[in-house]
Amino acid sequence: MKKLLSIAMIVLLSACASQTTQPDGDEMAGTGDGMSGSELMGSESGRPSYFNQLNDPSNILSQRSVYYDYDSYTVKGEYRELVLAHARFLRDNPSASVILQGNTDDRGSREYNLALGQRRADSVRNMMTLAGARDVQIESVSLGEEKPRAYGSGETAWSQNRRTDIVYRGE
């Protein structure tokens, strides 16, 4: 499996190298400048330089969490821009990939919550693929109630735990 993956990565990388990605100025508005060709240029630390963009606090891409209402899996309007910005970033940086981790509060069955968290991660994935990110760039998974951001019971903690985190591979 690992071997297959690395072969796939090589194919993917060479495909990128030979193509000239021409960012559409309009659509790139959310992601700053046209850095899409830069994903192959490693920074000094060996990391792709697009991480600078992802971690720039003034860039919407530095926001990585989508929160949900109780018993809901719909990406709320206020998180739409955030998700679309990541989708465009993935579209324009084909070598970038993310793992989307859905989370729930801790009420009820752990396995059922795992399935509910998956539904949250899938909702973000679907939005991203519709906006041009490719399936191979996204893995949506669930952590269920196992990795709470806030401990304790009560709506304050629970609302923090009903979320999907966008984690870039290699970060």
Partner 1 sequence: MPISRFKSFRGTAILLLWLISATVFAQLNIEIFGGGASRIPVAIVPFADEGRLSQSITPVISADLTRTGLFRLIDPAGSTPHAPVEVVYSDWANRGANALVIGRVIHLSSGQVEIQFRVMDVATKSQLTGLSLTVPATQLRTAAHRIADVIYEALTGDVGVFSTRIAYVLKRGNKYALQVADADGYNAQSIIEYTEPIISPAWSPDGNQLAYVSFEDKKPVVYVQALTTRERRAVASFKGSNSAPAWSPDGKKLAVVLTGQGGSQIFLVNVDGSGLQRLSKSPGIDTEPSFSPDGRYILFTSDRGGSPQIYRMPITSSESSNAERLTFEGNYNVSPDYSQDGKSFTFIHRHNGQFNVAVQEIGSRQMQILTSSKFDESPSFAPNGKMILYATEINGHGILSAVSRDGQTRQHLTVQTGDIREPAWGPLPKWK
Question: Minimum CB separation from partner 1 for residue 85, in Å?
Answer: 22
Residue 90 and residue 139 in contact, taking contact as beta carbons nearer than 8 Å: no
Query: Binding pattern to partner 1, positions 123-152, x when CB under 8 A?
Result: ----------------xxxxxx-xx-----
User: Which residue's CB is nearer to partner 1, number 70 or number 112?
Assistant: 112
Query: Which residues from 78-117 bind partner 1, rule CB under 8 A?
Result: 99, 101, 107-112, 114-116
Residue 83's closest CA among 49, 115, 60, 102? 60
Q: For residues 98 and 142, what is the distance between their CA atoms, to the nearest angstrom?
A: 13
Sign of torsion over alpha carbons 153, 118, 147, 87: negative
The interface region with partner 1, picked from 50-58, 75-83, 118-126, 155-163 by CB under 8 A, is: 118-126
Question: For partner 1, which residue of 31, 53, 97, 118 counts as binding (CB under 8 A)?
Answer: 118
Residue 161 and residue 142 in contact, taking contact as beta carbons nearer than 8 Å: no
Question: Minimum CB separation from partner 1 for residue 8, in Å?
Answer: 12
Residue 151 and residue 111 in contact, taking contact as beta carbons nearer than 8 Å: no
Number of residues in contact with partner 1 under rule CB under 8 A = 24
User: Which residue's CB is nearer to partner 1, number 28 or number 94?
Assistant: 94
Q: What region, left, alpha or beta, does residue 144 occupy, with left being phi > 0 and alpha being psi -120 to 50 degrees? A: left
Question: For partner 1, which residue of 13, 131, 157, 167 counts as binding (CB under 8 A)?
Answer: 167
Question: Minimum CB separation from partner 1 for residue 20, in Å?
Answer: 30
DSSP-derived pairing of the beta strands 138-144 and 163-168: unpaired
DSSP-derived 3-state class of residue 109 = coil
For binding to partner 1 (CB under 8 A), which residues are involved?
1, 99, 101, 107-112, 114-116, 118-119, 122, 139-144, 146-147, 167
